[in-house]
Chain A
Amino acid sequence: MSFRRHRSGGVVPPGKLWTPRDGGEGRRSGYGGHRAGFSRRRFLSSSLGLGAGLAGGGAFLTACGNDNGDGPGAGTGGDVGTSNDVIDFWQWYAPQEGGGYAVEAQSDWFLDLVDEWNARGGVQVALTYIPVSEYIEGTQLQSAFSAGSGPDLFVISPGDFLRYYNGDVLYDLTDALGDGIDDFYESALSTRVVDGRVYGIPMESEPLTMFYSVAAFEEAGLSEGDIPQTWDQLLDVADKLTTGDQFGVLFETTPNVYQNFTWYPFLWQAGGDVVNETGLASAFDSPATAAALGFWQEAIDAGVAPRTMQGGGGGDLVSNMPSGYAAMAQMVTAGGSFLEEGAPDFEYGMFPLPVPDTSADPITDMGGWAFCVNKNSPHAEAAAEFCAWALAGEESVDRLVTWAFDAKKSLPVRKSVMQKANDDGLFDQDELMAYAAFDVLGLDPGNLDSDDTPYGRGEPRFTPEVVQAVTDAIQDAQLNGVDPAQAAADAHGRINDALADYDGAPLGS
């Protein structure tokens, strides 16, 4: 596929820009950039949906006086407790207004979800919006639990799972899920499971991929055939893309959980891991760790990657790419929708994460949020039923298709949802989602019933001490010139120290 076609915008024939694993070429082929990922119609219908959602929100407020769940439709869901009981649901999506298409679509989705549940009678769900920065980096959720007033229901990322699990505040959702468990991809569920019991129900997966600027490639005289497949090629291409005021590639440099998240794939591709298979001892001191650390170090040392990020950090593609600061960057596939919204004129493409050598699989890391229930909530059982109903029930399939394709551009984590989207031809209409599912995760469109996500591995769960040790190793190698092997060895010791008297759930993914 040529770059000219990318220029033509969103009129590319459906299904032409991804070629799922056709003889190994497909997953390497990259994803052509385009401008209009969402149709006007979808945008309009979503806007209308927001209006409906807000109106529904009003209805919900007045619905609190409903009878308890004796009416039709009750009995399968919110029939534990009465409609005077309210489940407080903390998340960072709704209700909020403004902020563009994605924000509204996501807020809508949550409002509709809660309306639908509350209309059934029984225990009501009320949404409490927490800004995402506060949710990820802040103290509000933790402080609420510390004060003994944690929310009944909340969302968490895999990175936070162990903190709350080991804090003994997560309710066992296994029974509420029932047979629904089998519908989830193993890689999506495993990081929320301890001893076979489920403590969080994932709503999505967000695999990491590489983005590139079409204009930067053209200016450097590069074409699609130059899309890098290996680490060395990436550094080489990055060198060609580096100019006086543009960096060839951007890897996160801010010391936080997100930096770890974006680095793990390279560790895994090289055959390494943070902890061993028991999940209770370090495996960090390995040549693979040194190689993955060395890869990022080389990018900095060669001057092809920046030491500082623009805007909100490396994940903020809109601040880092359209401005010409970086020609290639790493981000979850949903970043494409951020670019289309934040910089509609910017032409970008995507390609799977480069590997140490061509024999390695382009393993990637899948983030994504999950619903969790506070086990100390008086409505824990009802909240668990809500989670199962919202994310795992038969009737939730359409809702989850909407979340994935219309609202978040994250991938479904259930086989039936993936199948439904495929049956409805949605992957043919949405190149970004098709690329994410088939090229990045390596799913087989002909066999969506498989439990496996060939290249997708769940974002691992670690304790804060282990996260910090890994962050320090990355920082030392990447930015402080420390020998990668030495950085790996230092962190190895710290991880083992931290795990010496650890008695929580196993780590890793």
Chain B
Amino acid sequence: MPRTSDLMTMTSTRDSGTPTRPAYEDGDNPRGGTERHGGGPMSRLSGRLTGRMSLRRREALAGYAFVAPSAIGVGVFVLVPMLMAFVLSFTSADGFGRMDFVGLENYRRMFDDPQFMDSMRVTLLYVGAFVPGLYVLALVMALLVNGNLPGRAFFRAAFFAPYTVSLVVVGLVWRYMLADRVGVVDSWLRALGVENPPSFLGDPDWALWTVVFVSIWFFVGFYMIILLGGLQDIPGDLFEAARLDGAGYLRTLFSVVLPLLRPTTFFALVLATIAGLAGLQAFDLIFVMTEGGPANSTSLGIFYIYQQAFRGNQFGYASAMAVWYALALMVLTGIAFWLTKGGRFERD
């Protein structure tokens, strides 16, 4: 009977690719070590201890080696810049190497800056429309392609297709389609009897909602796939039980599907909120489609931060806004996790 420790050894070394013959040759084997040295009880004990330590160290090293590429990547390209941005946010950095410590000045200025507050208002409107809109549409589509829809493989692929296209291309194509008077959307609306279709990207009352729509169009396939995964996780016997109990489609949806989909929903909503606040589309699409216009009506926070940094050379100020943004995201995500116990809900 192998002892537990041997089992552990065997198990752990199996991970390193030698399932039958652990790599003890270098003398670190707890037993081999004691045999070779032939010491008394103390030395045996210490040998076992160092052996175990070094094994642990080895395991740890292997673990670190596995996470190192990711960790270094995240560290160099995310954590260090975040830290630097945090430090920069207390300075007047101008992008040409000059920076003075200004304390909380940038943070104070932020809340006195009507343009920033306006961009926050626009951001809230955007996220407020984007996240629920995206979720509901993705769910409807996931339900559709989860059922017995003829040609559902085609629809799954078709719904996902926009997500595979570069955002810049998406922005450009939609710009052409939404052009005043000559755009295809305008033509269709006229053909449908709409006398004076609005300027979707040129009218401040329309532009933000248009950008929300295109953002949803772009992302919906991706979220559909996530939700589809969640739907397919729901055991089929539950549907059967619901059917036997006489539940209709809507009743099943609200009493079976949605409750069981909650972990997936949670994940999708958190992801969508982050995407809405700071995702690529919040910047790329807007840069291509409107450059924040007309009249700043699509100038989201993330776009305003970019403008301040790279057009205005206000790197300190932009960093302060970015820090504020990151904090807001952390708090939002934290609240979501706290409310849902990490997204596990009552199932665990």
Partner of B181, one of A138, A168, A247, A476: A247
Could you say which interface size class chain B belongs to?
20 to 34
Interface residues of A in 245-271 (CB under 8 A from B): 245-247, 253-256
Residues of B within 8 A of A148 (CB): 97
B176 proximal to A (CB < 8 A): yes
Partner of B294, one of A245, A465, A468, A480: A480
Q: A255-B296, A472-B295, A479-B203 are in contact. Are A310 and B313 (CB under 8 A)?
A: no
B21 proximal to A (CB < 8 A): no
A323 proximal to B (CB < 8 A): yes
Q: A-side binding surface: helix, strand, loop or mixed?
A: loop
Contact A464 B295 (CB under 8 A): no
Separation of A310 and B179 alpha carbons in the complex (Å): 7
Contact B295 A308 (CB under 8 A): no
Residues of A within 8 A of B156 (CB): none
B96 proximal to A (CB < 8 A): yes
Contact A479 B94 (CB under 8 A): no
Contact B313 A245 (CB under 8 A): no
Residues of A within 8 A of B297 (CB): 480
Separation of A482 and B199 alpha carbons in the complex (Å): 17
Q: A148-B97, A476-B295 are in contact. Are A142 and B179 (CB under 8 A)?
A: no
Separation of A281 and B176 alpha carbons in the complex (Å): 41
B180 proximal to A (CB < 8 A): yes
Residues of A within 8 A of B95 (CB): 142, 145-146, 167
Residues of A within 8 A of B81 (CB): none
Separation of A28 and B307 alpha carbons in the complex (Å): 40
Contact A475 B181 (CB under 8 A): no
- B287-312 near A? 1/0 per residue, CB < 8 Å: 00011111111000000000100111
Contact A139 B310 (CB under 8 A): yes
Contact A306 B94 (CB under 8 A): no
Q: How many residues of A contact B (CB 8 A)?
A: 36
Which residue, of B98, B175, B180, B204, has the highest number of chain A Cβ atoms within 10 A? B180
Interface residues of A in 432-476 (CB under 8 A from B): 464-465, 467-468, 472, 475-476
Residues of B within 8 A of A480 (CB): 204, 294-295, 297
Contact A308 B178 (CB under 8 A): yes
Contact B180 A247 (CB under 8 A): yes
CB distance from A475 to the nearest CB of B (A): 4
Contact A253 B96 (CB under 8 A): no
B201 proximal to A (CB < 8 A): yes
A21 proximal to B (CB < 8 A): no
CB distance from A394 to the nearest CB of B (A): 35
Interface residues of A in 120-150 (CB under 8 A from B): 138-139, 142, 145-146, 148
Residues of B within 8 A of A475 (CB): 293-296
Partner of B312, one of A324, A464, A472: A464
CB distance from B236 to the nearest CB of A (A): 50
Separation of A467 and B307 alpha carbons in the complex (Å): 12
Contact B295 A479 (CB under 8 A): yes
Contact A472 B311 (CB under 8 A): no
CB distance from A448 to the nearest CB of B (A): 38
Total number of residue pairs linking A and B with CB closer than 8 Å: 96
B42 proximal to A (CB < 8 A): no
Partner of B296, one of A169, A246, A324, A472: A472
Q: A325-B182, A464-B311, A476-B295 are in contact. Are A306 and B176 (CB under 8 A)?
A: no
CB distance from B340 to the nearest CB of A (A): 38
Separation of A260 and B115 alpha carbons in the complex (Å): 19
B90 proximal to A (CB < 8 A): no
Residues of A within 8 A of B182 (CB): 245, 310, 323-325
Residues of A within 8 A of B199 (CB): 306-308
Q: A307-B294, A308-B179 are in contact. Are A168 and B202 (CB under 8 A)?
A: no
- A355-385 near B? 1/0 per residue, CB < 8 Å: 0000000000000000000000000000000
Q: B-side binding surface: helix, strand, loop or mixed?
A: loop
Separation of A482 and B295 alpha carbons in the complex (Å): 10
Residues of B within 8 A of A240 (CB): none
Contact B296 A306 (CB under 8 A): no
A244 proximal to B (CB < 8 A): yes
Contact B311 A169 (CB under 8 A): no
Interface residues of A in 306-337 (CB under 8 A from B): 306-308, 310, 323-325
Partner of A253, one of B176, B294, B312, B313: B294
- B143-182 near A? 1/0 per residue, CB < 8 Å: 0000000000000000000000000000000011011111
Partner of A168, one of B98, B175, B178, B293: B98
CB-CB nearest in chain B for A306:
B180
CB distance from B18 to the nearest CB of A (A): 47
Contact A254 B176 (CB under 8 A): no
A420 proximal to B (CB < 8 A): no
Interface residues of B in 180-201 (CB under 8 A from A): 180-182, 199, 201
Contact A244 B181 (CB under 8 A): yes
Contact A145 B312 (CB under 8 A): no
Q: A146-B96, A472-B296 are in contact. Are A464 and B313 (CB under 8 A)?
A: yes
Residues of B within 8 A of A307 (CB): 180, 199, 201-203, 294
Separation of A168 and B95 alpha carbons in the complex (Å): 11
B135 proximal to A (CB < 8 A): no
Residues of A within 8 A of B126 (CB): none
CB distance from B193 to the nearest CB of A (A): 15
Q: A139-B310, A247-B181, A307-B199 are in contact. Are A167 and B94 (CB under 8 A)?
A: yes
Contact A479 B291 (CB under 8 A): no
Q: A145-B97, A167-B96, A308-B202 are in contact. List 15 more A-B contacts (CB 8 A).
A: A139-B310, A167-B98, A244-B181, A253-B294, A255-B296, A306-B202, A307-B201, A308-B178, A324-B182, A464-B312, A464-B314, A475-B295, A479-B204, A479-B293, A480-B204
Closest 10 CB pairs of A and B: A307-B202, A167-B96, A480-B295, A464-B312, A479-B294, A255-B293, A307-B199, A475-B295, A308-B202, A306-B180
**A-B pairs with beta carbons under 8 Å apart, 19 shown:** A142-B310, A146-B315, A167-B95, A169-B96, A245-B182, A253-B293, A306-B202, A307-B199, A307-B294, A308-B178, A310-B176, A310-B182, A323-B182, A464-B312, A468-B115, A475-B296, A478-B294, A480-B295, A480-B297
